[in-house]
Amino acid sequence: MKRVTIYDVAKEARVSLATVSRVINGLEIVREDTRLRVNEAIEKLGYKPNAIAQGLALQKTTTIALVVPEASFSYTGQIINGLLDVAKIYKYNIVLHTVSEGIVEIGEIIDTIIKSRVDGVVIYNDKLIYDELKALTQYQFPIVLIGNKMSTNNICSVYVDLEKAVYELVTKYIEMGKSDIAIVQDRKNKYMVEQLIKGATLAFERKGMIFEQFIEIPQEYRSSYQYLKEYFKTRRHDLVIAYRDSQALAVSNAAFENNIKVPDELEIVCIIDSKYNSMVRPQLSSFTIPSYDLGAVSMRVMTKMLKQDEFDDREIELSYLFTPRQTTK
């Protein structure tokens, strides 16, 4: 069956292609009788306007690019689902781009995205450090960052304040008399771990103490687990904080290898929750992040940026919930 085109509609309605385009895009410069004739032709022929063609007439493509890491946590899928659901409501198309790590590759991807004529870019990449985030300001283009707090004239962000989460957690433990607290290095998430350290440092400072317990994994060790097995032969802590599930599991397994009882002798908190945290034994206590909402709110913010709607807050903070399991008392 032959595909109906805008040329067929113009011929049926006895008008120019430009007139059909104006009717499709809702422009008010078309006479009412002409508009009715075009709409009747569209209905009769069963013509379905191409979203990209519509966008070109308005200098917009109704397409948003989403940039996500190639390998990330299980909740990335929920972020994408939230974004897609809102995009569908506002009739935007989503094009997915993946990135390994670092701003060099992201910069190249964004340059490619801009050339492909999208209306805006949503970026979720928890591996970016501050300098890499700052480099994004060179793009005079609507950008929404998921997970990173930052805003400029063309950048908005939707995030969960992990620094505050760790501050509240560490303060609670200090007030319970448990001040031997450590944070494990995560080479793949340098920026995020910096936020955890800031939160712990502030909690200690406000109690008149200094936070010094950062477990750095030497380069010669291929995995955190291999190093932590050696580390726990001579070291003990009240609480160890890890950013992601694999790091927290490495702590738990290394403690087991050294006959350290969790949570009686050592408590463990994984900042980012995942489906694996409740599957392993002992189950990992963690923070539940509203991943679906991160995606949904980010897309809503993007629609407001594109419509140039006024909104007060360009940095939108979402709430978190601590979920205690078997690695905390």
Q: What is the pLDDT of residues 87-134, one digit of tens each?
A: 999 999 998 887 765 444 666 777 777 677 788 889 987 666 566 666
Measured in whole angstroms, the distance separating CA 52 from the mean position of its chain's CA atoms is: 26
Tens of pLDDT, residues 37-76: 999 998 898 887 655 455 545 556 788 989 887 766 556 8
155 pLDDT above the threshold of 80: yes
pLDDT value for 47: 83
Among candidate residues 298, 316, 314, the one with its CA nearest the CA of residue 87: 298
What architecture does CATH give domain 162-288?
3-Layer(aba) Sandwich (3.40)
Tens of pLDDT, residues 278-326: 999 999 999 998 999 999 999 999 999 888 766 678 899 999 999 999 9
Task: Name the least confident of 163-172, 187-196, 257-266.
Answer: 187-196
Among candidate residues 100, 119, 99, 118, the one with its CA nearest the CA of residue 109: 99
CATH topology of domain 6-57: 434 Repressor (Amino-terminal Domain) (1.10.260)
Backbone angles phi, psi at 47, to 5 degrees: -75, 135
Q: How far is it, in rounded angstroms, from Cα 163 to Cα 165?
A: 5
pLDDT value for 52: 46
pLDDT value for 81: 93
3-state secondary structure at position 240: strand
CATH topology of domain 63-160+290-319: Rossmann fold (3.40.50)
pLDDT value for 130: 61
**Which part of the chain is CATH 3.40.50.2300?**
63-160+290-319, 162-288
Q: Supply the pTM of this predicted model.
A: 0.76
Q: How far is it, in rounded angstroms, from Cα 232 to Cα 292?
A: 37
- Identify the bridge partners of residue 240 per DSSP, sorted by sequence position: 182, 268
| Contact status, residue 247 vs residue 241, Cβ threshold 8 Å | no
2 pLDDT above the threshold of 70: no
Q: Across residues 265-284, what is the average pLDDT?
A: 95
